Amino acid sequence: MKKLLFTPGPLSTSRTVKAAAMEDMGSRDAAFVETVQQIRDELLALAHVSQAAGYETILMQGSGTFGVESVISSAIGENDHLLVLSNGAYGERIVKMCTIHKLPHTVIRFEEDEITDPAVVRRQLEQQPGITHVACIHSETTTGLFNPIAEIGTICAEHNKTFIVDAMSSFGGVALDMRAANIQYLVSSSNKCIEGIPGFAFIIAEKKELLKTKGQARSLSLDLYEQWNGLEANGQFRFTPPTLSIMAFRQALRELEEEGGIPAREARYRKNKETLDSGMAALGFQQYLRPEIQGHIITSFLYPNDPNFHFEDFYQQLSSRNFVIYPGKLSKTNAFRIGNIGQIFPEDVSALVHAIGEIMEKQTATSK
């Protein structure tokens, strides 16, 4: 039976996207090389930039984290200093990368239920002129909040800092103009809002920044510059490419266009979110975040105030009805998460909410 994934990724994908991964494909085949180039160009267009405007796309094997680590471990030179803005597990993941690669860095931490405050960022940049790069998460999937990246980008531009954005769970599901937001490096992956299957990350970079990173990488396989250089030289990956995942991704891009592009996809995700919000509120569930900072990608719900509620059991019961939700990742609060992204539609969200209602009712009934 088909499971519906209400997770932050991998997500439910269409049959046609999965079918596109059914045929073997040689990594040096002209059709494959062309597909790689086409994907690189289309990703630029989705970010509202182009090669002519000075931007490049790099595809990197692995999950999204490999893409983020590729940028972090390649872009920060010996004499550079990275400011990491953290308000969740994904910000902390970048901090961990800095520690492992021994990169000069400073961290500003905000509470998990607060957005990154642009005024604090501005003050830090004024007080610490040695900072050269700033890294921030767009949609912090830990909670579902949206950080104000356009405002932070403006501040970075005013102070001439390189801005790195982990837009993993938002790219393709939220309108974003990379140049207008003053972003030099943007990272996302094949299996989030573009609705492909897992296999690779992609990085959209300002070429002038990318060229500075030559010879700077801390690892061979995640060397961003060399990965780009390889793709430019002969259209190929340096090491075994995720061929089938690439073929599925091309189909996913077609389906995104057929749906009406990012605006239409964003509208569908927002509708999913509204359906979820009203349904869960009617069942008495409370959200972790205040609505003003909550994005439409994923929502954290507090455990209900019921001693009979056990997440594992709740999860299993939903899973046996083919609804897959996600545990929480908050450091101090018990919550679970429900995603609105992937091949799921408002009627699927309604069905999920209905199932949650039934399970909760059964639980209450047995406890009486």
Q: How far is the CB of 169 from ligand PLP (least distance, A)?
A: 4
User: Whose Cβ is closer to ligand PLP: residue 137's or residue 210's?
Assistant: 137
User: Whose Cβ is closer to ligand PLP: residue 166's or residue 209's?
Assistant: 166
CA dist list (Å): 300 to 86, 116, 122, 150, 334: 18, 18, 29, 24, 9
Sheet of 162-166, strands arranged across: 55-61, 200-206, 185-189, 162-166, 133-137, 82-86, 105-109
Q: Pairing relation of β-strands 326-327 and 335-339?
A: antiparallel
- Nearest 5°: phi and psi at 338? -130, 125
User: Whose Cβ is closer to ligand PLP: residue 33's or residue 47's?
Assistant: 47
Instruction: Give me the torsion for CA of 38, 40, 42, 47, rounded to 10°.
Output: -170
Q: How far is the CB of 342 from ligand PLP (least distance, A)?
A: 12
User: Whose Cβ is closer to ligand PLP: residue 68's or residue 75's?
Assistant: 68
Encoded tokens for 67: 């893409």
User: Whose Cβ is closer to ligand PLP: residue 197's or residue 360's?
Assistant: 197
Least Cα distance to 326 among 1, 2, 79, 10 occurs for 10
Q: How far is the CB of 199 from ligand PLP (least distance, A)?
A: 10
User: Whose Cβ is closer to ligand PLP: residue 11's or residue 131's?
Assistant: 11
Q: How far apart are CA 66 and CA 201, in angstroms?
A: 7
Which DSSP string corresponds to 9-70?
SS----HHHHHTTSS---TT-HHHHHHHHHHHHHHHHHTT--TTTTEEEEEEESSHHHHHHH
Q: To which H or E segment does residue 240 belong?
A: none
Q: How far is the CB of 252 from ligand PLP (least distance, A)?
A: 16
Least Cα distance to 168 among 326, 325, 331, 11 occurs for 11
Which DSSP string corresponds to 318-361?
HHHTTEE-EE---SSS-EEEEE--SS--HHHHHHHHHHHHHHHH
Q: How far is the CB of 219 from ligand PLP (least distance, A)?
A: 16
User: Whose Cβ is closer to ligand PLP: residue 118's or residue 173's?
Assistant: 173
Q: How far is the CB of 17 from ligand PLP (least distance, A)?
A: 17
Cβ-closest position to ligand PLP: 64
Q: Which residues bind ligand PLP (CB under 6 A)?
A: 8-9, 63-65, 68, 90, 137, 141, 166, 168-169, 189
Q: How far is the CB of 65 from ligand PLP (least distance, A)?
A: 3
Q: How far is the CB of 140 from ligand PLP (least distance, A)?
A: 6
